[in-house]
Amino acid sequence: MKTKLPRCCPSVLGTRLKRDDAEELASAFKAIADPGRLRLLSFIAAQPGAEACVCNLIEPLGLAQPTVSHHLKVLAEAGLLVRERRATWMFYRLVPERVRALQDALALPVDKPATKRSA
Amino acid sequence: MKTKLPRCCPSVLGTRLKRDDAEELASAFKAIADPGRLRLLSFIAAQPGAEACVCNLIEPLGLAQPTVSHHLKVLAEAGLLVRERRATWMFYRLVPERVRALQDALALPVDKPATKRSA
DNA sequence: CAAGAGTATCGACACTTGTCGATGAAAGAG
DNA sequence: CTCTTTCATCGACAAGTGTCGATACTCTTG
């Protein structure tokens, strides 16, 4: 490791985001990193009570029923939606706190002066 | 299309997010939906001036140089970073406005009472 | 120009993901 | 119980993605 050329800069760079935190955050963002799922969230959020029946999501989304079901599952597993059975129908309701959490994760260092990070 | 069972609800659901907008947003979120890229953003954001030399990113990230280069390219193409050559070294600087834009995209209908949407 | 250091691109690979048709499971109606 | 409606799961496929070694490119130095 013989360095002939000078270093470009002080090389501070304290590791901010840990590996585990990064993986967790990434999987959360993966959940919304799909056009269909974003539209699902949008559709549901636009409903009164921020909830919707699956039967009302399939047609406007323009995807096959199994595909919609799959996307809803992904969103639910990411904690962005909660399922609730109502008679024959299945309702999905938005979890605003979870959305807010993702929003906060995108806060720049400037935005959060001295906040302690927990999850 | 003969419906025997009653509908589950009024079926309002005005299409909120258009297909094109959804695709664009999704590709933006795809850019940050990766542990390595999130850490890159975090590392760079933590630097003074929110910029960093590639040579200082490879080791802390723990990935091979071509992989890091690839991730940086993805982030740059998403508009989250800008490249700048400085002598032999390549610097990547964070674009806060772009991060903010993603943040705003996650704003719930409750959060934005009557805001006009542009992008 | 030649040599060396820092990065980007290429090629290849394993793995993940979005999609849909077919099928199965849960709940209400008759 | 049988039929129908609604939704989830299964299986399979094409396409996309992360990863790295090898290689090419771009500056600077001598």
Q: What is the ipTM of this complex?
A: 0.85
Query: Residue A117 pLDDT more than 70?
Result: no
Whether residue B4 lies inside any domain: the answer is no
User: Does strand D come within 7 Å of the CB of A17?
Assistant: no
Amino acid letter, residue B66: P
* CATH number of domain containing A39: 1.10.10.10
Range of the domain at A93: 35-105
Please state, in angstroms and rounded to a whole number, the distance separating the CA atoms of residues B101 and B97: 6
**Interface residue of A7, A17, A93, A117 to substitute, partner B, most B CBs within 10 Å:** A17
Mean pLDDT over residues B96-114, rounded?
Answer: 78
Whether residue A27 lies inside any domain: the answer is no
Q: Per-residue confidence at B107, pLDDT binned at 50, 70, 90?
A: confident
Q: In this complex, is the C-beta atom of A110 within 8 Å of any C-beta atom belonging to chain B?
A: yes
Q: In what order do the strands lie in the sheet with A51-53?
A: A51-53, A89-94, A81-86
With tokens 């963002």, the residue in question is A29
What's the pLDDT tens digit per position in A12-50?
A: 334 478 899 999 999 999 999 999 999 999 999 999 999
Whether residue B6 lies inside any domain: the answer is no
Contacts of B34 in chain A (CB under 8 A): 26
Number of domains in chain A: 1
Whether residue B115 lies inside any domain: the answer is no
What's the pLDDT tens digit per position in A70-104?
A: 999 999 999 999 999 999 999 999 999 999 999 99
- From A26's Cα to the closest Cα of chain B, the distance in A is 4
**A56-65, B61-70, B108-117, range with the lowest pLDDT:** B108-117
How many angstroms separate the first and last alpha carbons of chain A? Answer: 38
Please state, in angstroms and rounded to a whole number, the distance separating the CA atoms of residues B100 and A103: 9
